[in-house]
């Protein structure tokens, strides 16, 4: 049986890998953290597509019979191209807009994303599909991926970086936040401090 290939622009996808391992403990997993080219979130779309194709090609060449694109930016930018190019099942990661809209009491949801995800047509189709009458506030968070890649998950730098983008959303009445990048889950304790 082949492996499940998983990739992200760095270590953020480890959060996805952990959940796959928990749900499918018997599966062989192969993970590529493309930290040399991280973050994808501020790179041009054609760059993200080229890197995604290269990583998918590597993983499939290494025996992966399915792929998980554990990166919101790569999903938003490249998953359609990957599905056209490769015949294996490919699962992408998208921001959890639908459950956020279902859980908001204020009718205002904040989506924390990378700049590239915020610009993608796929992301805007996702918002249009699920927002209903809810107000969605999209907030790119430059610098967050770099913090996580450096292992800065706590302390003054992390606190200031998270407050810079989360506090204005809370001030606008947002009562549900969506972490639209797999790296951001590593900063979620800091995010929760600003929403409590």
Establish whether 71 is a catalytic residue.
Answer: yes
Measured CA to CA in angstroms, residue 127 lies from 22, 117, 171 at distances of 29, 12, 22
CA nearest 169: which of 145, 191, 144, 143?
191
Q: CA torsion, points 45, 48, 50, 52, in degrees to nearest 10?
A: -140
| Selected catalytic residue, list 71, 147, 169, 178 | 71
Q: How far apart are CA 82 and CA 64, in angstroms?
A: 14
CA nearest 161: which of 147, 178, 173?
147
Q: How far apart are CA 110 and CA 178, in angstroms?
A: 6
Establish whether 134 is a catalytic residue.
Answer: no
| Selected catalytic residue, list 181, 182, 184, 191 | 181
Active site residues: 71, 181
């Amino acid at each position: 049986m082949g492996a499940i290939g998983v990739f992200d622009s760095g270590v953020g996808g480890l959060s996805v890998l952990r959940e796959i391992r928990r749900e499918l403990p018997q599966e062989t997993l192969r993970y590529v953290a493309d930290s040399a080219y991280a973050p994808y979130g501020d790179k041009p779309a054609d760059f993200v597509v080229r890197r995604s194709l290269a990583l998918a090609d590597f993983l499939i060449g290494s025996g992966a019979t399915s792929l998980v694109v554990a990166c919101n930016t790569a999903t938003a930018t490249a998953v359609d191209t990957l599905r056209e190019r490769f015949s294996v099942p490919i699962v992408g990661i998208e921001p959890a807009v639908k459950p956020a809209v279902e859980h908001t009491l204020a009718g205002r949801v904040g989506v924390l994303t990378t700049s590239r995800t915020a610009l993608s047509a796929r992301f805007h189709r996702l918002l249009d599909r699920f927002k209903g009458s809810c107000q969605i506030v999209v907030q790119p968070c430059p610098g967050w991926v770099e913090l996580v890649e450096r292992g800065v998950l706590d302390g003054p730098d992390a606190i200031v970086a998270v407050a810079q983008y989360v506090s204005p959303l809370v001030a606008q009445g947002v009562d549900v936040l969506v972490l639209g990048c797999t790296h951001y889950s590593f900063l979620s304790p800091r995010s929760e401090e600003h929403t409590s």
